[in-house]
Structure 1
């Protein structure tokens, strides 16, 4: 027995420890090689960053290379952060397991099993190793950010040096410049000649095919574009076109031909390059020449369209024809000077021409542009009614003087880069801004009330469709918004590139805006927001389609009651919109848990001022669920009586019999008594009160009324109509005709028919309907608003006659009862 007791005690001491060991979850093993894999990724990234850092030092004078380096660094930055984030699930597992294991036992406490101690130590070591890799990734990310800032600083310094660098004009205009220019022209001519000889000898067929393809593209653009957009480019506005027509012609006649020419040049370059006709330097020259031609063409088209020297009615600016011609010539000349200078700059760079030649070319171009600006300011484009010529407004004239003088002065002082930059911005940026401004004015005119309907597209839609004016105005507003967005997306990048920004900069900004813009702790992703809006719109229209299909195809065929159909349709609509909203919010990347703050703010607003809104909302849900009345019912709510037209979650629309729409809050319909004439069916009773003179036969009157009630076709035979002798009135024997109708909404028609039938029958049977003092007063002409003394005498006489008639009725009543009349 003693041995058994000792064995049981030993077992009791051992079982808890074993049970505890068994209850502990198995240790979580780290994914094989995750640390080593991320270390390899970081080593590769570090090598790339080292290479890019060396390239920054080697390309400090090349802005295009610096932009390319920055784009590569921006691609590496998220990869470094991704390496750090790759450990997040593993770190969460380790922390959870360490929390389960608990801290090591303190001194004096029983020792824990070795397996627990070993696991804790292994997890701590792994965590330290992961933290070291994360620290390396964060350090690399910071280094990449610093290099990006270094690139931005280097580019800013490069641009600043370009504008502030001063050149010695004496070296630029020495006798050596002419020889350098002659050598450059000779080299350029030899390069073109050698390419043409090679192309005609070895690439004649591909060159011919490429030329034919480009000409076909030009033919299609010329005639096809004229056919499609001809009414926009050259609208038929008569002698007095509207302002919108003039704006539209100016904008589209500039944009569309310029785009067409650009597409033609792009097709030419593509086919020449595709068939191997172009050589490296020739491709550069060809692209530069196409750019210059496109610039000059765009400026010439814009000034011709805005000033219209030959068509004064289409002129946007009211200048005289001769001044308009000079403005077109001067602006085209400025564009031509800037274009030729830019083309020669590319040729000089490609040929390796000396700096003196570049300085001389830029100096001449800047001075010519400055002189042309001053000449434009000196023009007198306006003429008064007296025939006197008038100059430009002061601010515009002195702006032209200032820009021209600044360009010439900067060039004379040796700041060639600054002078060239200013002259280039005057021509190119000015052209872009003017075109964009005309487009914005056109968009504003289209979005104005009635503007879209007066346009060519609006008139075509009005003639070929059944769209109303309100719909055309809404379409005009949509077209205005779309045109504004298009102008911003097209012209803003062009302006940025003209001010020294590279396409890589715009690409980087677009990527940041698309993927997410971080402001403080909030990240805004425009792509996510746009996706959410698109998802919500799709969900909304799917909901509307499903509502229409369910109501028109399913419930209509099933002969479902109109009120039930309305309730189901509303419930499906609200549920679909709510679901589309939730899905759209999720698609936008917004965490639904963050909406708790919004819900808290909403509840606070409910507590302060939204009680009525919430009360009406809940009341609307109750009305849709209980359905005390439905759409089409005839109800009476207080002083309002009419037909229910619509039940929403906030209010109910009732149309009175005067065709007045009354919007009643749903809480009023829930908290107050509401009469429903057509709740379960349209069966209802109608009462018509009739007064019969005291000297008439009451039995005969009762029989006539009963016969009339039974004879009307809309009066039900069951329940049977009933005529009740209700009272001995002060002026008549009072009868009430009570009839039942299958459709109580026809009560007005039935009452009208029965009343006419009563008049005809009483006249035929000699039954009188007594008149009253009120009837006498109502027979007076409406032209006398106030009663005269004669009126009072007549009323008193009528009252005396009424008293005599009452006495006669009392005598007749006494005779019918078999009693003698009272002699008094």
Structure 2
């Protein structure tokens, strides 16, 4: 609890520090070096003495950090002016060699600029020197504070196991109880208290009734509301359930605040109780938050639980986490009581040891639960979904680490390392609470995404929830660092180093410059996209430019806009690219040797966009691939084949290879339909029928007119071809199919036969077949005799040998076949 309160205070202090550092930023001309010198001397004296407290050093560091920020700004401003003067001097040309004379007006101007340059460089040098001094002091202060904190954490104190300290602790507790009772008795018995309580009784009773309603019935109301919402709506139910579940914290907390207010208004308590009542809402708020987080992380509902382990394990985890929240409240109360009554280290060690031991035991049990985490319905052999399995695997690793820390912390506390033990136990608890909160928020992001889009994160496959989750992780890193001992000044120092940037080629580049570059680039990119959309949808369709030309214009404008946006973004950041010439030269070698194929395709893509030998929508053939052009980029061209598959072809192949474009310029194209007729058919009739089929088709052009070509006399038929020009060659397959149907129908009606290939089989020495049959019959007769007689086998072999020796069978094809039937 104390750690969480310190975390909230640290975040508030961080915001105040950042705002103060921004407010202290003044113009370069307003630098007061006398005040800075006084502050620097004071800081050096405090560091030399070593007696200043950490709080004093932190205050001094904040003041020095403000000066350092102003010195850095002064350097940037003055360097810009120096660069301008140097550019003016360079414009005058080089200084003449000794013995040469220069024009008087140019010489006077050069001298004037040199004087101004020397005058402007003086503040830059002073700011650089002061910046270096301030930065060194900040580093020394940080080292001193870190050393003190490390020594404090590793300090060996009294052991709580020594019985001699138990009596001291018991005496301190008795003394605190006596003081508390005496204060309360004095408040009850002071003069006028009776009349005062009677006057305030209605208000006190009202607050107490409100306390009972909010604390006792508030969680039940929230539970009923969640159930009603779950029954009535499905879309966005996770968001509304999350919002309503916050009532389990808010309503009881309001009830506690009403109770504390009622007791304080009554005036029947002393100062110690007053201080405790001031912090009571914080303690109860922490306990309620821990309990709510346990309900969200290990919920009874499988759809709500961020760690969906088996239900029995979830119930155990909820119980352990809730008890940890109560232990934190107890530790906060004892810590406050120790500060009020000034307990000694012995009493503090004895009183804190049971709480540390209890929290370590609860952590140990929670670690066992996480170590043995299995998904609901997971028997151990079958893995659940990837995301859940990864989360459970991380939970098992975390559980093992918690077990080690829970064992080490009580041992260290028993020895006397109470501070180190507190770090291991309570920092671990704070880390678990922080991580659990992050997981709950991440689940809420997924539910909100589903509410606004109507799809789950898995269904949408969107990067938005992923990016929001990444931002959430970045936001959780500073609190995590603060939990484990980092100071607010450490975080501000990291940000200062981050904002200072780094030097590349004599140019200082800061992350804010990168942010400006990104913003300008995306602004230019957005404008480019808007112009492309306007041209594609509104302007170019009203012109006579073909679709390929429109696409080329839009694509060229896109590349030009991207390159221009990049150059504008770099220029707006004030980056000097001339200092990167050597780097660019080295990269050019890499481009020449390792990226030559990519560069070749890039140049080929530019040529395709300019010359436009192919355009989007063209029907092309490249090697064995044929299809329609769907997209032309600077590296490759995508075509869609007739199988509805996409083929990516490098642009270099389109420039250097053979490409057939069937629809370049227009969709006209020639169709050739071949057909053969039997010998003896009337060739003039065949020509007339085929010409009629071609002329009657609506896709066939009459100018030029279709033509029937009598190709010649083939082996089996007389060959004809229909040759015609189609209005749209894209329909060539359908047109050829339709013409073939009409040819078959009209030839059948006219009695014209379409021949097919014919073959005759000729047998040489057919008498050998009769000899083979006789040998087989003789072998069958001998097979019935006793097996001792080997003669039948020999006769059979002799007969088969005669078959192979005396005759063979041949199959003659071709012109010898004649016109007979098969």
Residue 159 (1) aligns with residue 149 (2): yes
SS of residue in 2 equivalent to 1:736: strand
Name the counterpart of 2:431: 433
* Aligned ranges 1:281-300 → 2 under 5 Å: 288-300=279-291
**CA distances 1:754-794 after superposition (whole Å, capped 9, x unpaired):** 22222222222222323223899xxxxxxxxxxxxxxx999
Name the counterpart of 1:780: none
Query: 1:575 Cα deviation (Å)?
Result: 2.2
Change (3 A) 1:252 1:60: farther
Name the counterpart of 1:543: 528
Residue 145 (1) aligns with residue 143 (2): no
* Paired positions, count: 692
Q: 2:660 aligns with which of 675, 688, 704?
A: 675
Q: Is the 1:732–1:770 Cα contact (8 Å) retained in structure 2?
A: yes
* Aligned ranges 1:387-786 → 2 under 5 Å: 399-410=405-416, 418-420=417-419, 422-423=421-422, 425-426=424-425, 428-438=426-436, 465=454, 472=460, 474-475=461-462, 477-490=463-476, 492-516=477-501, 525-558=510-543, 560-585=545-570, 591-593=576-578, 596-597=581-582, 599-773=584-758
Query: 1:495 Cα deviation (Å)?
Result: 3.3
**CA distances 1:457-497 after superposition (whole Å, capped 9, x unpaired):** 67667xx74x698762x22x54244224314413x333333
Query: 1:73 Cα deviation (Å)?
Result: 0.7
Change (3 A) 1:604 1:624: same
Change (3 A) 1:665 1:589: same
Q: Is the 2:713–2:719 Cα contact (8 Å) retained in structure 1?
A: yes
* Aligned ranges 1:355-374 → 2 under 5 Å: 356=344, 360-361=347-348, 363-371=350-358, 373-374=360-361
Name the counterpart of 2:176: 181
Query: 1:702 Cα deviation (Å)?
Result: 2.0
**CA distances 1:272-331 after superposition (whole Å, capped 9, x unpaired):** xxxxxxxx9999877744443333333333445556699999674775699657635642
SS of residue in 1 equivalent to 2:665: coil
CA distance in 1, matches of 2:112, 2:39: 36
Query: 1:76 Cα deviation (Å)?
Result: 0.3
CA distance in 2, matches of 1:425, 1:739: 90
SS of residue in 1 equivalent to 2:739: helix
**CA distances 1:711-730 after superposition (whole Å, capped 9, x unpaired):** 22322222222223232333
**CA distances 1:570-625 after superposition (whole Å, capped 9, x unpaired):** 21222233334344555677544455455334421232132222222111111111
CA distance in 2, matches of 1:117, 1:188: 88
Q: Is the 2:157–2:418 Cα contact (8 Å) retained in structure 1?
A: no
CA distance in 2, matches of 1:586, 1:228: 60
* Aligned ranges 1:85-484 → 2 under 5 Å: 88=79, 136-163=126-153, 164=155, 166=157, 174=168, 177=172, 181=176, 185=180, 288-303=279-294, 306=297, 316=309, 327-328=320-321, 330-344=323-337, 348=340, 353-354=341-342, 356=344, 360-361=347-348, 363-371=350-358, 373-374=360-361, 377=364, 399-410=405-416, 418-420=417-419, 422-423=421-422, 425-426=424-425, 428-438=426-436, 465=454, 472=460, 474-475=461-462, 477-484=463-470
Change (3 A) 1:524 1:67: farther
Change (3 A) 1:236 1:300: farther
Q: Unpaired runs of 5+ in structure 1?
A: 1-36, 239-244, 272-279, 385-391, 411-417, 777-791, 806-824
Q: 1:44 aligns with which of 28, 31, 35?
A: 35
SS of residue in 1 equivalent to 2:743: helix
CA distance in 2, matches of 1:522, 1:191: 73
Change (3 A) 1:319 1:582: farther
Q: Unpaired runs of 5+ in structure 2?
A: 1-27, 262-270, 375-397, 762-807
Change (3 A) 1:335 1:758: same
Name the counterpart of 2:818: 802
CA distance in 2, matches of 1:344, 1:518: 54
Change (3 A) 1:395 1:91: closer
CA distance in 2, matches of 1:723, 1:419: 106
Change (3 A) 1:131 1:738: closer
CA distance in 2, matches of 1:45, 1:580: 43
Q: Is the 2:410–2:421 Cα contact (8 Å) retained in structure 1?
A: no
SS of residue in 2 equivalent to 1:408: helix
CA distance in 1, matches of 2:610, 2:88: 51
Q: 1:68 aligns with which of 52, 59, 66?
A: 59
Query: 1:671 Cα deviation (Å)?
Result: 2.0
Query: 1:130 Cα deviation (Å)?
Result: 7.0
Which deviates more from structure 2 when the two are superposed, residues 753-762 or residues 505-514? 505-514
CA distance in 1, matches of 2:612, 2:689: 43
**CA distances 1:500-548 after superposition (whole Å, capped 9, x unpaired):** 4333433343344345367998866444434444444444444334323
Structure with more contact order per residue of length (Cα contacts < 8 Å, sep ≥ 6): 2
SS of residue in 2 equivalent to 1:644: strand
SS of residue in 2 equivalent to 1:581: helix
Change (3 A) 1:184 1:646: same
SS of residue in 2 equivalent to 1:556: helix
Q: Is the 1:723–1:736 Cα contact (8 Å) retained in structure 2?
A: yes
Q: Is the 1:436–1:487 Cα contact (8 Å) retained in structure 2?
A: no
Change (3 A) 1:743 1:376: closer
Change (3 A) 1:53 1:675: same
Q: Is the 2:760–2:812 Cα contact (8 Å) retained in structure 1?
A: no
CA distance in 1, matches of 2:252, 2:500: 31
Name the counterpart of 2:384: none
Q: Is the 2:758–2:817 Cα contact (8 Å) retained in structure 1?
A: no
CA distance in 2, matches of 1:514, 1:95: 27
TM-score norm. by structure 1 comes to: 0.67
Q: Is the 1:644–1:655 Cα contact (8 Å) retained in structure 2?
A: yes
SS of residue in 2 equivalent to 1:706: helix
Change (3 A) 1:157 1:60: farther
CA distance in 2, matches of 1:511, 1:722: 84
Change (3 A) 1:645 1:400: closer
Q: Is the 1:306–1:316 Cα contact (8 Å) retained in structure 2?
A: no
TM-score norm. by structure 2 comes to: 0.67
CA distance in 1, matches of 2:255, 2:502: 37
SS of residue in 2 equivalent to 1:621: helix
